[in-house]
Amino acid sequence: VSQPPESEFLLVSADPRLIDEVLAVAAAVAVQPVVATDASVAAARWGGARTVLVGDDLAAELAAMSLPIGPTVHLVGSDPARLSAWSMPLRASVVELPAGAAWLTGILAGGEDAGLSPVVAVVGGSGGVGASTLAAGLAYRAARRGTSTVLVDADPFGGGIDLLLGAERTSGWRWDRFARAEGQMGDLRPVLPTVEGLGLLSMGRRTVAQLAREPVSAVLGSLRRSYDLIVIDPGRSQLPGSLECCRLATSAVLLASCSVRGVAAAQQTLTTWTGVRPLLVARRRAGTGVGADVVADALQMPVAGVLPDDPELVGAAERGDPPGRSLRRRRGWGRSCATLLEALT
Ligand SMILES: Nc1ncnc2c1ncn2[C@@H]1O[C@H](COP(=O)(O)OP(=O)(O)OP(=O)(O)O)[C@@H](O)[C@H]1O
Ligand SMILES: [Mg+2]
């Protein structure tokens, strides 16, 4: 142990290269972690630390020790297999070096939140306006263009967004597995189902899960450290877990129907909205309806985009074909969805 015990940072590693790498980053932000080079010293220091950086060389040993929950734990190293194997048991986020050096700087400088990935919530101004379809379309498109993305379904009455992507039989965890999640969690990427590279956290269909706030905040915290973009479909239930999603969103879309009742409902939705100011997107309806200008006037917000009506989406949803994948034309709904994604990210 090279530093006084009151340092809030504890580094646990016996790998000289890893120690040098971390201490160099720490020195740059004038921080001096306590270094524990074996697991028993680490255990003695554990309770006094606010943040523990566990080197991947000692991860297995520490995971076997049932250390108290308390400090925020980050697993640091350059061996991808070890990092992914020990993240969950240690309830640690992963900092892969050298790529994650900037993020490590953030952790040591105390600006951890600044390194968290954006969360986009897609809110329907009225029922059935196409919010889930848009959330899935944005997430699918982001994943296809190479952004590491997860789509989070937080609507207990939506039937499971995995159906919309044809992934209802894809194995992996749904929300029911996270009912008791709390605090800091490890990297969830290995346990979540994927569709063509898009991570998916869906409601199950066996029971109506009562999403509580604590698991939602624990799970989103983890997803924000592992993926580059989180897209949420909170649904219109106003249950605690859905509200927590809306509160944590760093940007939001309010999808308002271009219809008289749709505008009235969107106004009501806005009055209960407590998150970041949303971008207003007008969903055009086939046949009758009001113009996007009327929607903007009524809600006293500029319209950031217009989503056209596309009957092909209905059949695609029934087949489990991800929204936007098989739209033949590079215009219409798919184009609007792509433009919106650019505006949001
Ligand atoms: N732009 C669109 N054009 C035509 N049909 C659409 C469009 N967007 C969605 N739909 C269809 O409308 C129906 C409802 O869509 P979706 O489930 O996405 O709405 P929602 O707003 O999430 O509904 P809920 O209020 O139940 O959550 C589905 O059949 C879907 O395929
Ligand atoms: Mg929905």
For 51-73, write each residue's pLDDT tens digit.
899 999 999 999 999 787 778 88
Separation of CA 61 and ligand 2 centre (Å)? 45
Within the chain, what is the greatest distance between any pair of CA atoms?
74
| C-alpha–C-alpha distance, residues 230 and 298, integer Å | 30
Task: Give the residues across from 121 on adjacent strands.
Answer: 232, 252
Contact 324, 288 (CB under 8 A): no
Buried b (16+ CB within 10 A) or exposed e, 63-81: beeebeeebbbbbbbbbee
pLDDT, position 112:
57
The size of the chain, in residues, is 345
Percentage of the chain modeled with pLDDT above 70: 94
Residue whose CA lies nearest to ligand 1 atom number 26? 128
| Ligand 1 pocket member 336 (CB < 6 A) | no
pLDDT, position 213:
86
Residue whose CA lies nearest to ligand 1 atom number 31? 314
pLDDT, position 2:
45
Separation of CA 122 and ligand 1 centre (Å)? 12
Q: Which ligand is nearest to the CA of 129?
A: 1
Per-position DSSP letters for 281-329, written without gaps between them: EEE--SSS---HHHHHHHHTS-EEEEEPP-THHHHHHHHTPPTTSS--S
For 278-336, write each residue's pLDDT tens digit.
999 999 988 778 999 999 999 999 999 999 999 999 999 999 999 988 865 567 999 99
CB neighbour list of residue 81: distance below 8 Å, 6 or more residues apart: none
| C-alpha–C-alpha distance, residues 89 and 47, integer Å | 18
| Ligand 1 pocket member 158 (CB < 6 A) | yes
For the stretch 93-100, contacts whose Cβ atoms lie closer than 8 Å and that sit 24 or more positions apart, written own/partner, are 93/184, 93/186, 93/187, 93/222, 93/225, 93/226, 94/186, 94/187, 94/225, 94/226, 95/53, 97/18, 97/21, 98/21, 100/76
pLDDT at residue 241 greater than cutoff 50: yes
User: How large is the average pLDDT for residues 240-248?
Assistant: 89
| Ligand 1 pocket member 124 (CB < 6 A) | yes
pLDDT, position 269:
94
pLDDT, position 113:
62
Query: What would the two tokens of residue 89 be?
Result: 């048991």
Does residue 123 or residue 30 have the better pLDDT? Answer: 123
Sheet containing strand 198-201, edge to edge, reads 194-195, 198-201, 149-153, 229-233, 119-124, 251-257, 279-283, 303-307
**311 CA closest ligand 1 atom index:** 4
Q: Which phi and psi (to 5°) does residue 256 adopt?
A: -110, 135
Confidence of residue 4 (pLDDT cuts 50, 70, 90): very low
- Residue among 112, 1, 6, 19 at smallest CA distance from 58: 19
User: How large is the average pLDDT for residues 151-159?
Assistant: 94
Separation of CA 132 and ligand 1 centre (Å)? 7
Separation of CA 130 and ligand 1 centre (Å)? 3
- Can you tell me whether residue 196 is helix, strand or coil? coil
Q: Which residue out of 132, 162, 238 has the highest number of ligand 1 atoms within 8 Å of its CB and is therefore the one to mutate?
A: 132
Task: Give the residues across from 279 on adjacent strands.
Answer: 253
- Residue among 265, 260, 257, 300 at smallest CA distance from 281: 257
User: How large is the average pLDDT for residues 84-94?
Assistant: 88
Parallel, antiparallel, or unpaired: how do β-strands 9-12 and 93-96 relate?
A: unpaired
- The continuous run of DSSP H or E covering 205 comes out as none
Strand runs labelled E in 82-216: 93-96, 119-124, 149-153, 194-195, 198-201
Contact 243, 212 (CB under 8 A): no
Q: What is the pTM of this model?
A: 0.77
Residue 255: alpha-carbon gap to chain centroid: 20
- Prior bond to 98 cis, omega within 30? yes
| C-alpha–C-alpha distance, residues 187 and 247, integer Å | 22
Among 28-32, 144-148, 293-297, 326-330, name the one with the lowest average pLDDT.
326-330
